[in-house]
């Protein structure tokens, strides 16, 4: 068929109508040649051939195809002639264009049921709007004589049929061939209009006419609402000509004969109007009262009926083809929102900072407006007392939402509880407040609006308020660091806190040091800064302060003999460094000191608000609080609440209300509106920049992450399979906590088997290590390459025992290493970091939990994850020990994965569904404890890898 296409296009085509339309056919022939081979037996056909100024009959041999089969041929033939090359005849190109028009109309849903002259069910094209009518007429005017060279019953044998009726018949055939919606069976109660075979349904002619009335006739029917007698409303039946949409008339004029140019409404205007109103009565029962009159012209409406036409009733009537028109100058809708303003009895505050610290309250009141004019209290009372959905107000008819009236009445009776300044600020940021369990749009006024505008859009605001670094800072801040400094200073100066959540390695420490120095420049903010951090970071903080603020005193409140002497009264504007453990044990001593600034570094350590460490941190007083973390959310949104409720208490409400209002909606229901409200609320209090963001760290070298698959040795395979068999049998017999414990035991054991049999079997020192683990062999190969190139590498493992095995194995191979873990003293940690950064040692073994944050190890050009931590955020933090500001060489990240094992499956999940991994796998192996037996078996079963 494709080979015949060019010849088919150059030939002739004509449409042969039939009853019902879907039985019509397209005839194709090539004058003077054999008909195209379309897999159909050719037939003789009588056509009317133009001959000079007259026509004559002729016999041709043609191929006749149903319209449905002919459509793709016609559209392709049209494409052949669309470039003007003449490869398609005028007639074939015309019918190709007509086919395209029919398909476009169907795609827009332009189809109506009907009954053919012989009583068959038949879909047809319609309704057509003014543009459709114009396009159809213009296309018909271009129909060449050959395109209509077919004898039509009822015409002279030598008369060409009229172009537009023939084109309309073809379009109806397209509709009847393709539009067989199954829903028609429900509409008609039978198979008519829904199946291919013709159905004789003369009894449905009236139903079909009523369905199409006013849609595809000469007019459209609508209801125009007008003010009636005694402050009531009246619906007037209005007609619009489809031939000339500018022609309008009331139905009363049509019945009385007073309508202008009645011919423009079509020959069946009165019948179509009655049928349309009958259809409207089914959509909206009150319209049925009009049908009691032989000449329905309008309808008196009750308050409830008028109100219904503002909502669902109007939609139902529109679906039935009857529009509802409310005069714009007659009825206007009220807009309602809330206004937050200071309670007058407690006085207004002159500045944002004093407003927040005053403890004053803000009243919530309704603001109801007509257009841009706010209504008075007296007018609001009239609305409440009117008990009508449409009320006369300010010489206008106003639509009153019953729900709004209910809220106004309830507010007037109960007086909504006033909001605290921090609650009001949250409402101003999100643009809504909860009233009686519902979210209501609000606007802020006065000092609250000033405060909202000052903290909204943190980076944009900081860019609009440029301020240089403090004079005492011995460093040049990058642009994004300076913006972060300005943001932190503005927030803490207002008495608000903030979370600086930049990626690891972007310089949060130097930004915080600059903040401390700037706060010392003003008496109102000067004072000592307490930094609480993991023990491994004490040395890093001390070195950074001495480097960037050499004139600033710094002391450690850690270890034996620690004291706070000399800090009484807050006169010392220096730094005090302590650990989370020390802070928890000495919380009482720390709470007695008035701190100018309190900083929680690696703040994810206090993400559990119920833990003793987090509770102790909350008790320490300060004039400003700042959280520093590269991972504000590791597992769930409740962690975000914990951080921000510490930096700015009360901002997010209670943890229970936060979970109900945001966490459940965002995490569970994927509620986009709730997510937007939460983003608007927390955005000003959390500044997050990533290394990959444009303009943040363009000088950073490339980072390449590679999954390194390794095969298990025979010993590992034997241990792996035995462990799965043994524990899966026990797991299937247990429930609850006992089952979850066994699942954790299984997953931990399998990971240890993948690392090395000696770790799983807890073999004594001196046990043979080489040749027993695929991972160990690959590690040797990687380190040999790194050391041969005079490079340095970090090797992370989550198991201290595995780190000890690696330390012994590498020492036996002559590789001198450092090994940092949770038992390493603070002093020894600092010595190790200095030795590695100085190039004294090339391989640094690190426990992931003890060394995954805070360290600066840019000497390394390679990061090797010997085993995987099943939380990508934690793994990324570890990688950032090397990939951070100051790194000058490309960083290669190697992730060792045992093929065919549980490690392999989890690695694939982390690659394909990183977002899911962040939320579902964030808690590590514990996330798998809820898997069913079959799901768990699928996860841990050893697979063949084909290697």
Share of the chain above pLDDT 70, in %: 75
Compute the average pLDDT of residues 337-361: 54
Say whether pLDDT at 789 is over 70: yes
Q: Which of 527, 579, 580, 590 has the alpha carbon at shortest distance from 556?
A: 579
Half-sphere exposure of 320 (CA within 13 A, CB side): 25
Query: Does the residue 699 lie in any domain?
Result: no
Q: Answer yes or no: is 671 within a domain.
A: yes
Residue 935's pLDDT is what? 67
Flag whether pLDDT at 628 surpasses 60: yes
The answer to the question of residue 701 being in a domain is no
One domain for residues 349 and 370: yes
Judge if 185 and 255 occupy the same domain.
no
What's the pLDDT tens digit per position in 514-529?
999 999 988 888 899 9
Of residues 347 and 669, the one with the higher pLDDT is 669
Q: Is residue 296 located within the same domain as residue 363?
A: no
Q: Rounded to whole angstroms, what are the CA distances from 892 to 158, 398, 875, 904?
A: 85, 69, 14, 20
Q: Check if the beta carbon of residue 104 is closer than 8 Å to that of residue 9.
A: no
Closest alpha carbon to 786 in 856, 854, 859: 859
Q: What is the pLDDT of residue 366?
A: 65
CA distance 128 to 375: 46
What is the rounded CA–CA span in Å between residue 111 and residue 93?
A: 24
Instruction: With respect to residue 726, please indicate whether it lies within any of the assigned structural domains.
Output: yes
Same domain, 815 and 719: yes
pLDDT (0 to 100) of residue 602 = 84
Which of 288-292, 339-343, 606-610 reaches the highest mean pLDDT?
Answer: 288-292
Q: Please answer whether residues 135 and 120 qualify as being in contact, where contact means their C-beta atoms are separated by less than 8 angstroms.
A: no
396-410, 569-583, 774-788, range with the lowest pLDDT: 396-410
Domain of 896, CATH number, reads: 3.40.50.300
Query: Is the pLDDT reported for residue 796 higher than 90?
Result: yes
pLDDT value at residue 584: 92
Please indicate whether residue 906 or residue 414 has the higher confidence score (pLDDT).
906
443 vs 788, residue with greater confidence: 788
Residues 152 and 246 in one domain: no
Is residue 529 in a domain? yes
Number of other CB atoms surrounding residue 560 within 10 Å: 4
Q: Are 600 and 853 in contact (CB under 8 A)?
A: no
pLDDT attached to residue 818: 94
Question: What pLDDT is attached to residue 915?
Answer: 46
Residues 60 and 126 in one domain: yes
Q: Are 640 and 633 in contact (CB under 8 A)?
A: yes
Residues 873, 888, single domain; the answer is yes
- pLDDT of amino acid 918: 37
339, two tokens: 């206004």
| Rounded Cα gap, residues 429 and 680, in angstroms | 6
**Sign of the C-alpha dihedral computed for residues 600, 604, 608 and 611 taken in this order:** negative
Q: Which residue has the higher pLDDT, 233 or 863?
A: 863
Give the residue among 188, 204, 184, 211 at the shortest CA–CA distance from 196.
184
The pLDDT mean for the chain works out to 79
Q: Is residue 695 part of a domain?
A: no
Predicted confidence at residue 903, as pLDDT, reads: 84
Q: Copy the structure tokens of residue 925.
A: 């192996």
Over 60: is that where the pLDDT of 739 sits?
yes
> Pick from 291, 325, 359: which residue ends a domain?
325
Residue 891 has pLDDT above 80, yes or no: yes
Across 881-887, average pLDDT: 82
pLDDT of residue 920: 28
The pLDDT confidence band at residue 343, using thresholds 50, 70 and 90, is low
- Give the count of domains, the chain: 5
Predicted confidence at residue 348, as pLDDT, reads 42
| Domain termination residue (choose one: 421, 454, 487) | 454
CA dist 758 and 777 (Å) reads: 14
Residue 944 or 737, more confident: 737
- State the burial class of residue 234 (Cβ atoms within 10 Å of its Cβ: 0-12, 13-18, 19+): middle
Instruction: Render pLDDT for 153-163 as a digit per residue (tens, 0 to 9).
Output: 555 556 777 88
- Is residue 508 included in any domain, yes or no? yes
Write down which residue in 687, 722, 737 finishes a domain. Answer: 687
CATH code, domain carrying 645: 3.40.50.10810
Bridge-partner residues for 43, per DSSP?
A: 62
- CA-closest candidate to residue 171, choices 139, 206, 202, 213: 139
pLDDT, tens digit (0-9, with 9 covering 90-100), for 642-681 = 888 888 888 777 877 777 777 676 656 566 766 777 777 7
pLDDT at 344 over 50: no
pLDDT band for position 862 (50/70/90)?
A: very high
Q: What is the mean pLDDT of residues 585-601?
A: 91
Closest CA to 426 of 658, 656, 634, 620: 658
Q: Percent of the chain scored above 90 by pLDDT?
A: 19
- Tokens (6 digits) for 482: 């300076």
- Is residue 173 within 8 Å of 116, Cβ to Cβ? no
SS3 assignment for 486-532: HHHHHHHHCCCCEEECCCCCCCHHHHHHHHHHHHCCCCCCCCCEEEE
d(CA 700, CA 691): 8
* pLDDT value of residue 319: 77
C-alpha span between 629 and 602 (Å, rounded): 5
pLDDT-derived band at 770 (thresholds 50, 70, 90) equals very high
In a domain, 947, yes or no: no
Average pLDDT for 761-781: 89
Is the same domain home to 822 and 834? yes
Give the Cα separation of 927 and 490 in Å (integer). Answer: 40
Please state at what angle helix 163-178 crosses helix 130-141, rounded to 10 degrees: 120
Q: What is the pLDDT of residue 924?
A: 42
383-399 pLDDT, tens digit per residue, is 777 666 677 777 677 77
Q: Are residues 360 and 440 in the same domain?
A: yes
Q: Does residue 501 sit in the same domain as residue 430?
A: no
| Total residues found in the chain within this entry | 947
Highest mean pLDDT, choosing among 44-58, 122-136, 318-332, 418-432? 122-136
Confidence of residue 457 (pLDDT cuts 50, 70, 90): low
**Confidence bin at 869 (pLDDT 50/70/90):** confident
Q: What is the mean pLDDT of residues 349-372?
A: 60
Range 288-296, long-range pairs (CB < 8 A, 24+ positions) = 290/237, 295/251, 295/252, 295/255, 295/256, 296/237, 296/251
DSSP 8-class letter at 665:
I
- List the structure tokens of 569: 């009264």
Mean pLDDT over residues 676-697, rounded? 75
Residues 181 and 144 in one domain: yes
User: Would you state the pLDDT for residue 167?
Assistant: 92
Average pLDDT over residues 704-731: 87
In this predicted structure, the answer to whether residue 136 has a pLDDT above a threshold of 50 is yes
What mean pLDDT comes out for the span 225-233? 70
Distance CA(226)–CA(228), nearest Å, equals: 6
Q: Is the confidence at residue 214, as pLDDT, over 60?
A: no
From 525, 431, 496, select the one nearest 644 (Cα to Cα). Answer: 496
pLDDT at 838: 92
Give strand ranges (E) for 549-634.
554-556, 575-579, 597-601, 625-628
Q: What is the pLDDT of residues 86-116, one digit of tens each?
A: 577 888 889 989 999 998 888 887 888 888 8
Cα-trace Rg, the chain: 40
Question: Do 302 and 357 reside in the same domain of the chain?
Answer: no
Its sign, for the CA torsion 809, 811, 817, 820, is: positive
Between the ranges 379-383, 459-463, 503-507, 523-527, where is the mean pLDDT highest? 523-527
Owning domain of residue 396: 332-454
Could you give the CA distance from residue 347 to residue 341 in angstroms, rounded to a whole number?
11
Give the number of C-alpha atoms closer than 13 A to the C-alpha of residue 377, restricted to the C-beta side: 3
> Which pLDDT does position 607 carry in this prediction?
80
Of residues 636 and 459, the one with the higher pLDDT is 636
Give the residue-averaged pLDDT of 610-621.
Answer: 90
């Amino acid at each position: 068929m494709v080979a015949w296409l060019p010849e088919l296009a150059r030939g002739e085509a004509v449409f042969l109508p039939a009853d019902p339309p879907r039985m019509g056919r397209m005839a194709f022939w090539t004058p003077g040649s054999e008909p195209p081979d379309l897999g159909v037996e050719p037939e003789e056909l009588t056509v009317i051939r133009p001959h000079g100024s007259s026509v004559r009959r002729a016999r041709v041999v043609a191929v006749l195809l149903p319209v449905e089969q002919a459509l793709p041929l016609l559209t392709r033939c049209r494409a052949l002639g669309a470039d003007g090359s003449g490869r398609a005849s005028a007639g074939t190109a015309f019918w190709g264009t007509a086919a395209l028009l029919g398909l476009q109309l169907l795609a827009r849903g332009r189809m109506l049921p009907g009954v053919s002259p012989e009583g068959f069910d038949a879909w047809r094209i319609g309704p057509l709007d003014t543009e459709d009518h114009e396009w159809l007429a213009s296309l018909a005017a271009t129909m060449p004589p050959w395109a209509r060279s077919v004898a039509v019953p009822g015409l002279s044998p030598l008369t060409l049929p009229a172009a537009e009726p023939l084109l309309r018949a073809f379009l109806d055939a397209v509709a009847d061939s393709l539009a067989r919606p199954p829903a028609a069976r429900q509409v008609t109660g039978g198979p008519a209009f829904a199946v291919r075979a013709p159905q004789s349904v003369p009894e449905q002619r009236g139903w079909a006419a009523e369905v199409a009335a006013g849609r595809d006739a000469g007019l459209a029917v609508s209801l125009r609402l007008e003010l009636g007698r005694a402050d009531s409303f009246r619906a007037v039946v209005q007609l619009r000509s489809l031939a000339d949409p500018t022609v309008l008339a009331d139905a009363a004029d049509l019945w009385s004969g007073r309508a202008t140019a009645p011919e423009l409404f079509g020959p069946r205007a009165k019948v179509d109007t009655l049928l349309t109103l009958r259809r409207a009565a089914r959509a909206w029962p009150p319209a049925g009262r009009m049908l009691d009159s032989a000449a329905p012209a309008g309808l008196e409406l009750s308050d409830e009926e008028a109100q219904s036409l503002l909502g669902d009733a109007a939609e139902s009537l529109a679906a039935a083809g009857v529009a509802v028109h409310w005069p714009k100058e007659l009825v206007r809708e009220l807009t309602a929102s809330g206004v937050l303003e200071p309670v007058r009895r407690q006085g207004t505050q002159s500045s944002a900072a004093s407003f927040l610290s005053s403890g004053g309250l803000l009243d919530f009141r309704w603001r109801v407006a007509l257009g841009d004019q706010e209504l008075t209290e007296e007018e609001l009372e009239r609305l409440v007392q009117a008990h009508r959905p449409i009320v006369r107000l300010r010489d206008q008819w106003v639509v009153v939402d019953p729900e709004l009236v209910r809220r106004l009445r309830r507010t007037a009776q109960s007086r909504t509880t006033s909001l605290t300044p921090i609650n009001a600020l949250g409402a101003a940021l999100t643009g809504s407040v909860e009233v009686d369990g519902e979210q209501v749009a609000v606007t802020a006024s006065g000092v609250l609006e000033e405060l909202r505008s000052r903290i909204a859009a943190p980076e944009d605001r900081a860019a609009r308020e440029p301020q240089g670094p403090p004079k005492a800072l011995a460093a040049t801040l990058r642009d994004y660091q300076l913006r972060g400094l300005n943001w932190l200073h503005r927030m803490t100066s207002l008495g608000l806190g903030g979370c600086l959540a930049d990626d690891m390695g972007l310089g949060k420490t130097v930004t915080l040091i600059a903040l401390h120095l700037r706060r010392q420049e003003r008496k109102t903010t000067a004072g000592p800064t307490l930094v609480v951090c993991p023990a491994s970071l004490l040395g890093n903080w001390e070195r950074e302060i001495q480097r960037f603020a050499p004139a600033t005193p710094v002391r450690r409140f850690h270890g034996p003999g620690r004291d706070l002497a000399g800090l009484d009264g807050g006169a010392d504007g220096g730094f005090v460094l302590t650990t989370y453990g020390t802070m928890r044990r000495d919380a009482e001593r720390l709470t007695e000191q008035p701190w100018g600034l309190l900083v929680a570094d690696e703040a994810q350590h206090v993400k559990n608000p119920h833990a003793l460490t987090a509770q102790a941190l909350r008790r320490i007083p300060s004039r400003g609080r700042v959280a520093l973390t590269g991972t504000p959310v590791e597992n769930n949104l409740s962690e975000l609440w914990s951080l921000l409720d510490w930096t700015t208490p009360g901002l997010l409400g209670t943890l229970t209300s936060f979970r109900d209002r945001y966490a459940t909606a965002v995490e569970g229901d994927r509620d986009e509106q709730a997510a937007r409200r939460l983003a608007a609320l927390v955005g000003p209090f959390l500044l997050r920049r990533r290394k990959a963001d444009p303009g943040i760290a363009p000088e950073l070298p490339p980072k390449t992450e590679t999954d390194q698959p390794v095969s298990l040795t025979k010993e590992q395979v034997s241990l792996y399979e035995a462990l799965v068999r043994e524990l899966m049998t026990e797991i299937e017999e247990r429930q609850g906590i006992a089952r979850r414990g066994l699942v954790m035991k299984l997953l931990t054991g399998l990971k240890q088997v993948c690392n090395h049999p000696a770790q799983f079997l807890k073999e004594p020192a001196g046990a043979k290590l080489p040749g027993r683990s695929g991972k160990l062999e690959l590690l040797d190969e990687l380190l040999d390459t790194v050391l041969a190139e005079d490079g340095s590498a970090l090797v992370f493992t989550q198991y201290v025992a595995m780190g000890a095995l690696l330390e012994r194995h590498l020492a036996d191979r002559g590789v001198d290493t450092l090994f940092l873990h949770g038992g390493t003293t603070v002093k020894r940690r600092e010595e190790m970091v200095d030795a590695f950064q100085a190039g004294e040692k090339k391989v640094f073994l690190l426990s992931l939990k003890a060394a995954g944050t805070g360290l600066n190890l840019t000497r390394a050009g390679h990061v090797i994850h010997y085993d995987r931590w099943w939380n990508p955020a934690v793994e990324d933090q570890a990688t950032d020990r090397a990939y951070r500001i100051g790194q000058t060489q490309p960083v290669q990240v190697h992730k060792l994965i045992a093929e065919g094992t549980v490690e392999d499956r989890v690695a694939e999940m982390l690659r394909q569904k990183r977002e899911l991994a962040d939320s579902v796998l964030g808690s590590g192996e514990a996330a798998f404890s809820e898997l069913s037996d079959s799901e768990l078996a699928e996860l841990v079963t050893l697979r063949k890898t084909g290697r």
